[in-house]
A and B are shown apart, each in its own frame.
Chain A
Amino acid sequence: MTGEVVLRVSGLSARIGHQQVVEDVSFDVPAGEVTAILGRNGAGKTSTIKGILGLIGRSGIVELEGERIDTLATDRIVRRGVGYVPEDREVFASLTVAENLRLAERDASPRRELVAELFPELITRGAQRAGTLSGGQQQMLSLSRALLNDNRILLIDEPTKGLSPKLVAEVVAALEVVARVVPILLVEQNLNAARRLAARLVVIEDGRSVLSGPASEFFEDEERLIRMLGVHGSGVGGVGTA
């Protein structure tokens, strides 16, 4: 499988309102591994993900396993097998945990056992309103919504944002399990997490993809990477920890 391209993004640009937030982003996501998008705050990482999904206005070419998906509506893109775990979780706060999961089920036989195995807590808290969950639990719920279905790729936006180091480790461990089954395009500010998960990196600067390649090459010259990502004051948390 490795070497085959699942998702190919060519010349993607995206806008919020009249403002161009992604200028020219191109990269491939190969099968069987995790590709991480890195970049400073406001560089256009989240907008790239949203542009791929059509959640914001976009142009350029996006191919899923060789088929164009850049003209489709968001829901149809997702039904083609693109799972999405948004920044800030976006669980439905007024719905129960079970309802959040039920809403996300779109396959005939959703993988409830996988979710129960990875996050047993969500099953015991099924009747609880999602808005009352802790940040970490909400992240697990958000992740579970994407895992329930048989996806060809997962787009996961900052899964460790705002979590304690212990929870970061839990989420990363879960993602490692997930990555064995499905390729992931990951936005990650936490360099340690990115190092553990990502096989490839894409660096975005001012709405353009400036570099991409095997993660090992980047992490050999960590200083350069840190300089590029503007660690100082940009919230790349957890670099020195763990």
Chain B
Amino acid sequence: MNAVLVSMRRPGARWLLSALLVVGLAALPLLNIVVPGVLPGPSYTPGTLQLLALSLIFAALALSYHVLFGAAGLLSFGHALYFAIGAYGLGILLKRTELPLLLAVAVVLAGTLVVATVLGAISLRVSGISFAMVTLAFAQAGSVLIQRNSGITGGEDGLSLSTQQLPDFFVGVLNTRNLYWLALALLVVVFLAVRWFERSRAGHVAAAARENELRVRVIGLRPFSVKLVAVVIAGVLAAAIGMVYLLLQSGVVPGVASSNFTLTLLVIVVLGGVGSRWGAVIGGVVYTLLDQRLSALAGSDAIAGLPAVLRVPLSEPLFLLGTLFILVVLFLPGGIVGVAGRLTRRAGRTSGATREDPRDVIEETE
């Protein structure tokens, strides 16, 4: 474990390991891997692939949230909105129009671009905590629209996927592995896109603005435009991820537009480690698997037999996750990646500069 972590610090080795990881993940549907306690069944079974694909989607979504919170230092409570626009937008177009899949995808992405630009421009008029509240309000409006217009969105019952315009290889339980590969490809694309953004000029300015807005202004750059770019990129990526989610889940429910859903993303990013792309990915996967396993645990006989004082909290996965989250914030700043980093340093005795926790910095610029 430590040897791997140490070698991760060399860029070449990092690329090789990432490539191996992707190949290994891509091969999972063809293998018979059993991980008791983590996966519900062998790795080639549709149920397991469904769960794994979901965890990849959450990893990708967490990455898109990382663009806001980690890279640009924007605490948004409304990211679920864009995910919901993707999932509902594509679902509605497929159900109500004759548009072919790719065209429908393009329309949704274009729509998201517009919405993200307009709402981003308004909400970026305020900063810090006010920005958080405003994004929350916009997402809430989206959530209300979805619930009120049940004729189009299916209301509380949700929207089921209409499969006529879909290629056959995305339809049916037996093709879950194709959707799994789609989710994996999506994660890779999102990862590269986020990496590209963070290393671009705009990404550097966003990072600089996160640490010291005034200094960025002094050298004649407008933090507003780079922040807006971050909001738009994060929004469009989230919409794309929402569309894959729709295909994988064969539908979508209004819960994905709720503020709780965004809060979940925040939990994932913090759990994995704020400011780190790998943290977002690891957080997304760990959270999804944990959520699934805790739900399974909640329904198990072992729990049902306990006295109420233990049974009630243990049968609520979100209670356990929320508590875990509080403990991570209090005692493990830097999340999973932070812990891994400390282990690495201890193992490798490398004296490189420690990564600054971006959350420290956000406060000072408020």
Contacts and interface: CB of A to CB of B under 8 A. Distances in A.
Interface of A: 16-18
B186 to A, nearest CB: 37
B364 to A, nearest CB: 4
B356 interface: yes
7 contacts: A16-B364, A17-B212, A17-B361, A17-B364, A18-B356, A18-B360, A18-B361
A18 B354 CA distance: 13
Contacts of A18: 356, 360-361
Interface of B: 212, 356, 360-361, 364
B91 to A, nearest CB: 46
A204 B356 CA distance: 30
B191 to A, nearest CB: 29
B218 to A, nearest CB: 15
Nearest to B364: A17
A18 B212 CA distance: 11
A122 B356 CA distance: 48
B214 to A, nearest CB: 11
A16 B363 CA distance: 12
A16 B124 CA distance: 26
A17 B361 CA distance: 7
B328 to A, nearest CB: 24
Contacts of B364: 16-17
Nearest to A19: B212
B216 to A, nearest CB: 15
Nearest to B363: A17
A17 B356 CA distance: 12
B213 to A, nearest CB: 12
A18 B359 CA distance: 13
The 4 A-B pairs with the shortest beta carbon distances in the complex, nearest first, are A17-B364, A17-B361, A18-B356, A18-B361
A17 B212 CA distance: 10
A16 B214 CA distance: 14
A18 B355 CA distance: 13
A56 to B, nearest CB: 11
Contacts of B212: 17
Nearest to A16: B364
A75 to B, nearest CB: 21
Contacts of A17: 212, 361, 364
Contacts of B356: 18
B274 to A, nearest CB: 17
A37 to B, nearest CB: 25
A64 B52 CA distance: 63
A18 B356 CA distance: 10
A170 to B, nearest CB: 35
A208 B356 CA distance: 27
A15 to B, nearest CB: 11
B355 to A, nearest CB: 13
A158 B364 CA distance: 25
A184 B30 CA distance: 79
Nearest to A17: B364
Nearest to B356: A18
A16 B212 CA distance: 12
A21 to B, nearest CB: 13
Contacts of A16: 364
A18 to B, nearest CB: 7
Contacts of B360: 18
A17 B366 CA distance: 12
B365 to A, nearest CB: 9
B76 to A, nearest CB: 23
A16 B361 CA distance: 11
B208 to A, nearest CB: 13
A55 to B, nearest CB: 14
A181 to B, nearest CB: 39
